[in-house]
Amino acid sequence: EIVLTQSPGTLSLSPGERATLSCRASQSVSSSYLAWYQQKPGQAPRLLISGASSRATGIPDRFSGSGSGTDFTLTISRLEPEDFAVYYCQQYGSSPPDFGQGTRLEIK
Amino acid sequence: EVQLLESGGGLVQPGGPLRLSCVASGFTFSSYGLSWVRQVSGKGLEWVSTITGSGGGDTTYYADSVKGRFTISRDNSKNTVYLWMNSLRAEDSAVYYCARILNYGGNRYFFDYWGQGTLVTVSS
């Protein structure tokens, strides 16, 4: 089982700033099979990125994903007020499809 | 538009049963796998169970924490997936989300659409 560790636990930034969220895997994620999700309070998660770097339909281009092997990054280039939420990574290169514990992005 | 609508949550006593349903629309239901993912209030996401689509032979998968107690099934004529939960424990209390999967073979997939969730509370 692959364990995903997200850092930081909480990130405090202001609108307009750049956000960099990290997801580290305990072993290599096969074929960069890593996804990122956004979850706002009281809402279901929403898919942002799959395959480490492919944006899902309708996701703004200020969201980008990168990485391979054991280290992956979600970058939000210029934060909008609606981007403050919790972000989860999930690997699907091996069974079971586990999630990281999440990074809370809060307004500074 | 893809939509997933869960129902069936509620208060149940420890050791009791509960059945969750998820009605899907906006896509060819039989072709896609579906999963249940749960979230304890204020905590992270935990994958629970998956049933693949017709291409995967309706294969089922379960997290170790629910194996032997939960059963996932689907009725393609009703565009519905079910989660039959038995021997419920306090630690099963959570919001249960239904999610559509994009399958990369076996138990390897991500979740591209999610329902709004249904709350299950296990308490006496």
Chain B nearest CA to A90, separation (Å): 8
Q: How confident is the model at residue B106 (pLDDT cuts 50, 70, 90)?
A: confident
Nearest CA in chain B to A51: B110
Residue with tokens 């281009």: A61
Assigned token pair, B40: 């304890």
Q: How far apart are CA B98 and CA B39, in angstroms?
A: 11
Scan residues 22-81 of B and list those with Cβ closer than 8 Å to A: 44-47, 50, 61, 63
Average pLDDT over residues B76-88: 97
CB nearest B44 (choices: A47, A94, A99): A99
Looking at residue A99, what DSSP letter applies? B
- Residue-wise burial string across B90-109, b where 16 or more C-beta atoms lie within 10 A, e elsewhere: eebbbbbbbbbbebbeebbb
The structure tokens listed for A68 are 């391979």
The rounded distance, in Å, linking the Cα atoms of A32 and A5 is: 16
Residue B104 has pLDDT above 80, yes or no: no
How many Cβ contacts (< 8 angstroms) between chains A and B? 62
Question: Helix or strand or coil: residue B91?
Answer: helix
Strand order in the sheet with A4-7: A4-7, A19-25, A71-76, A63-68
Q: Which strand (E) or helix (H) includes residue B9? A: none
The confidence score (pLDDT) of residue B57 equals 81
> Considering only CB atoms, which chain A residues are within 8 Å of B104?
31, 33, 92
Percentage of chain A exceeding pLDDT 90: 94
Residue B107 pLDDT class (50, 70, 90 cuts)? confident
How much is the pLDDT for B16? 97
Question: In this structure, what token pair is assigned to residue A19?
Answer: 């956000």
Distance from C-alpha of A52 to C-alpha of A35, rounded to nearest angstrom? 6
> Which residue(s) pair with B119 in the sheet?
B95
